[in-house]
Structure 1
Amino acid sequence: MTAVLDVPSGDAARLDTPAAGDPRLARLSLNQRTTAQWSLREALDGARAAGLTAVGLWREPVAEVGLDTAARWVADSGLRVSSLCRGGFFTAEDPDAREAAHADNLAAIDEAATLGAPTLVLVPGGLPEGSKDLAGARERAAEAIARLAPYAGERGVRLGIEPMNPIFAADRGVVSSLRQALDIAEQHPADQVGVVVDTYHLWWEPGVVEQIARAGERIVSYQVCDWILPIPADNLLGRGMMGDGHVDFAAFTRAVAATGYAGDVEVEIFNAAVWAAPGGDVVATMARRYVELVEPYL
């Protein structure tokens, strides 16, 4: 656990934890999954105490307290909601299941609007059980997004397609590259459908810098965490704190900044050791790593 919350594994030196009000923290957002050990109330309070100005929310913790209560807490906190996660999971073959997914995504758009989240992150979904039709699953995801886009526009919410690392293609995300996500997004107005640039999912992609430039104004969220080894038995939990793995954050961040992206930068980490650590320690480490490895290149 100590290594997770210590200095980066590379050559970067330790920095003091930025104090509340430090201007370098102005765009840093705590995604709730980074401190999964915290409730929604604790995440809001912890983000404020650390001097952050934004949080990325998840639907499940919001549902636990109720949407109206969550919206009131957010408003009282003074924090921005950088995104709401997640919608998606569009790839079922059964028509009734697809209709249920559509209804759930309409509800997610409404939740994002109520919370003041400008972006609803979409995880496309994996292959239906027993299916090997990857092309068909991708087509169904694209069709589902096309159905949702006009309503999202009406509600003032942008859909953010999140391409996922190919290791998740079978069970979570049949859209595996930024190139594929843009091929879908570009069929719709930019104020309705965009893409999520997540360093964990995209660090491997050949030509990713060119694809980020292509994305331009369609980047609706920039999420950062590291790719670490060894990959755990549950590969979903293989995300590390920035500086502990193999991602070139300077190159990624420069590319995103060059598009004119001026939104928040979310740290989203799925990692059992991070979740086992005290939330305040995690946020302090996150802030140090961010101001050292990410913020200078924005």
Structure 2
Amino acid sequence: MRNLKGRLDLCSINTATLGHREPLSRTIDRIASAGFGGIAPWRHEVEKVNVAEVAKQIKALDLTVTGYCRSTYLPAATRAQFDANIDDNKAALRDAATLGARCFVMVVGGLPEGSRDLRGARAQVSDGIAELLETAREFGVPLALEPLHPMYAADRAVINTLAQALDICDALDPERSGFLGVAVDAYHCWWDPALQASIAAAGRNERILAFHVCDWLRETRDLLLDRGMMGDGVVDLSALRERVERNGYDGLVEVEIFSKENWWRRDPDDVLRVCAERLQTVC
């Protein structure tokens, strides 16, 4: 396992960690000034401004775009809406290419409004990824399927384990082209009893495209917006990173924290300082 002490160049900040409180250009400057080597911006930030200018600023500061967040949800109640979702994702892949993103993060979506058809929603996800895979190859940006904790199955992601995501990868990309893989997010997968085997399988097939860290608070107050700073919760982040890296991942370690009532209320530079300290001591 790599030693992160003194190596913030091996670490990335997902811009959600700072709460989207400032213009993206200011956030980019803060992250670079704090010494981090990477950044993962969100579409709603990038699409408000000039994508080419964002890419130029990031490149000038020598930051790696570890991922572009995130996909438009895929499952839909009608074919027309499904096609529109595909088109949105294709446009986002074009922007991801402009940014030089290492991957496009696929949070695949939950059940369409009013639906109880979980199997059908998962089938739509597979169909949608199949349609997007050729676009990903065209733009040179891999798709990183991010399984979300099962509590999000209804509204955010019907793919909930790494094993499920890997099954899709193997079915749609049996040749292991490098354009379809997974994002391993500590918040979403730490609980999974099959986690060790799934990470090993992902490593064997060179599918690990991103690694996200934060912590799960024992008494979490909000299942979406109360993620913990690394070291404040129950996840053995060092052991998880060791497992991911032992199975071939050599990319940056990305901090992604949603914390409406805590970290998003703090001074951004203080948040980055604590991120840096925790990455080097507990991750």
Range into which the TM-score falls when normalised by the shorter chain: over 0.9
d(CA) in 2 for partners of 1:239, 1:142: 29
Deviation at 1:76, TM superposition (A): 2.0
Q: How many residues align?
A: 273
SS at match of 2:211: strand
d(CA) in 1 for partners of 2:67, 2:146: 12
d(CA) in 2 for partners of 1:254, 1:231: 26
d(CA) in 1 for partners of 2:165, 2:137: 18
SS at match of 1:64: coil
Counterpart of 1:159 in structure 2 is 143
Q: Aligned letter for 1:109?
A: L
d(CA) in 2 for partners of 1:111, 1:90: 18
2:180 maps to 1:193: yes
Question: Is the CA contact (8 Å cut-off) linking 1:153 and 1:191 kept in structure 2?
Answer: no
Question: Is the CA contact (8 Å cut-off) linking 2:77 and 2:113 kept in structure 1?
Answer: no
Counterpart of 2:273 in structure 1 is 284
Deviation string, structure 1 residues 216-249 (Cα, Å, up to 9, x no partner): 11010000000113232x4210211001111111
Deviation at 1:185, TM superposition (A): 1.2
Counterpart of 1:271 in structure 2 is 259
d(CA) in 1 for partners of 2:209, 2:94: 18
Question: Is the CA contact (8 Å cut-off) linking 2:12 and 2:39 kept in structure 1?
Answer: yes
2:53 maps to 1:64: no
Counterpart of 2:210 in structure 1 is 221
| Mean Cα deviation higher: 186-195 or 254-263 | 186-195
d(CA) in 2 for partners of 1:166, 1:56: 24
Counterpart of 2:12 in structure 1 is 29
Counterpart of 1:40 in structure 2 is 24
Residue 75 of structure 1 is aligned with which of 56, 59, 68? 59
Measured on the aligned residues, the alpha-carbon RMSD in Å equals 1.3
Residue 259 of structure 1 is aligned with which of 232, 247, 253? 247
TM-score (norm 2): 0.93
- How many percent of aligned residue pairs carry the same amino acid? 42
Residue 147 of structure 1 is aligned with which of 131, 135, 157? 131
Counterpart of 1:10 in structure 2 is none
Deviation string, structure 1 residues 157-203 (Cα, Å, up to 9, x no partner): 00000000001100101101111011111121341110000000001
Counterpart of 2:102 in structure 1 is 118
SS at match of 2:125: helix
d(CA) in 2 for partners of 1:156, 1:132: 36
d(CA) in 2 for partners of 1:61, 1:260: 31
Q: Unaligned 5+ residue runs, structure 2?
A: none
Question: Is the CA contact (8 Å cut-off) linking 2:226 and 2:259 kept in structure 1?
Answer: yes
Q: Aligned letter for 1:255?
A: R
d(CA) in 2 for partners of 1:161, 1:69: 27
Residue 220 of structure 2 is aligned with which of 216, 231, 243? 231
d(CA) in 1 for partners of 2:137, 2:26: 32
| Mean Cα deviation higher: 82-91 or 164-173 | 82-91
d(CA) in 2 for partners of 1:253, 1:58: 24
Deviation at 1:258, TM superposition (A): 0.8
Deviation string, structure 1 residues 105-146 (Cα, Å, up to 9, x no partner): 100110110000020000010111111111110110011001
Structure ranking higher in strand proportion: 1
Q: Unaligned 5+ residue runs, structure 1?
A: 1-17
Question: Is the CA contact (8 Å cut-off) linking 1:197 and 1:223 kept in structure 2?
Answer: yes
